[in-house]
Homo-oligomer: A and B are copies of this chain.
């Protein structure tokens, strides 16, 4: 249940109550694809870096270890030892991006597993069943992720099918939640808006899914190659047609800059692999932009990545030490960087919530963007 606490312009400050606790929004979900955060960060560590929601990938877990295995072990929360909210995606995105040869039909998608080539079928019902087995807090509807760019005709057909699939997802989720042996019988369902950069298709689709009274709504198919400006325009034009009294989730986005701009346009939920991916490349997020710890100038730098940062990495370890670990290919280096980066995102969301509450979001955003642009002091 979403409660809108206040607005500052179009920016929303809310809270979303689930069976696994209340999420303060706007929120950044921390990605743990295969029921584990990359970089050897444990769920115990997440408790110390302001993580509110963990996100796992349905496709990966279906393939390995298998959602039936996770169900037998009591669901994803027990499996990975995390009692706060978990959102699972529908598997659709991975089917369309990772899997081998695939065929899209009205009933769903036939494809080959990227692990062992095994033939798999996934449709709306299968996605809901898998997510019900995983027993996440929030399930995502099974949609088609259209290629970018796509023709108008392709997009319209795809979006129409995604709407029909959404109805089937909703029905199947209701059925699963009514079953005795379902682990989380209050599993929530978010619908996904598609339409690429065709704003009229986006808006029409938003209106149609808004009527379906789902627990939340996502914007899918963005950050797939279009410019940032185009993405912001689509968000700006579509969000007004999604229910204000429900959370809006911008899937797979993005940089700190993207998040600041999107919060301003009314987005509540985010997720992105950047904190981990940047860690792998030696990059740390700071209030003065990204810092590459592999840079020789940090060899003798005994300061924390960001002075004053309260993350477990900055509280203890120096730039010089982390640089050494990265150069020596010690796994600990990646862990320390990912920990800092996730904290940076989670902490920025906390700042964002405070700024909206205090009706100074625009000022906050400008100052933050200025700092990023200025670079290291």
Contacts and interface: CB of A to CB of B under 8 A. Distances in A.
A83 B273 CA distance: 35
A310 to B, nearest CB: 15
Interface in A286-338: 299-300, 302, 312, 316-318, 320-321, 323-325, 327-328, 330-336
A73 B35 contact: no
A333 B65 CA distance: 14
A174 interface: no
A244 interface: no
A334 B39 CA distance: 11
B42 A336 contact: yes
A40 interface: yes
B325 A36 contact: yes
Contacts of A44: 312, 316
B36 A80 contact: no
Given A36-B328, A38-B331, A44-B312, A73 B336 contact: no
A69 interface: yes
A312 B81 CA distance: 12
B40 A321 contact: no
B320 A37 contact: no
Contact of A335 (B35, B40, B302): B40
Interface string A19-36: 000000000000000111
Given A73-B318, A299-B69, A37 B332 contact: yes
A325 B36 CA distance: 7
A323 B70 CA distance: 12
A223 interface: no
B332 A42 contact: yes
A79 interface: yes
A331 B72 contact: no
Contacts of A327: 64-65
Contact of A73 (B42, B73, B300, B316): B300
Nearest to A323: B65
A36 B316 contact: no
A237 B327 CA distance: 44
Nearest to A327: B64
Contact of A79 (B65, B78, B320, B330): B320
Given A64-B327, A327-B64, A334 B299 contact: no
Contact of A81 (B36, B37, B317, B334): B317
Interface string A57-68: 000100011000
Contacts of A40: 39-40, 330-332, 334-335
Given A65-B327, A335-B331, A79 B321 contact: yes
A75 to B, nearest CB: 12
A41 interface: yes
Interface in A236-272: none
27 contacts: A34-B324, A34-B325, A34-B328, A36-B325, A36-B330, A36-B332, A38-B331, A39-B331, A40-B331, A40-B334, A41-B332, A42-B335, A44-B312, A60-B328, A64-B324, A64-B327, A65-B328, A69-B300, A69-B320, A69-B324, A72-B300, A73-B320, A74-B302, A79-B324, A80-B321, A331-B334, A335-B335
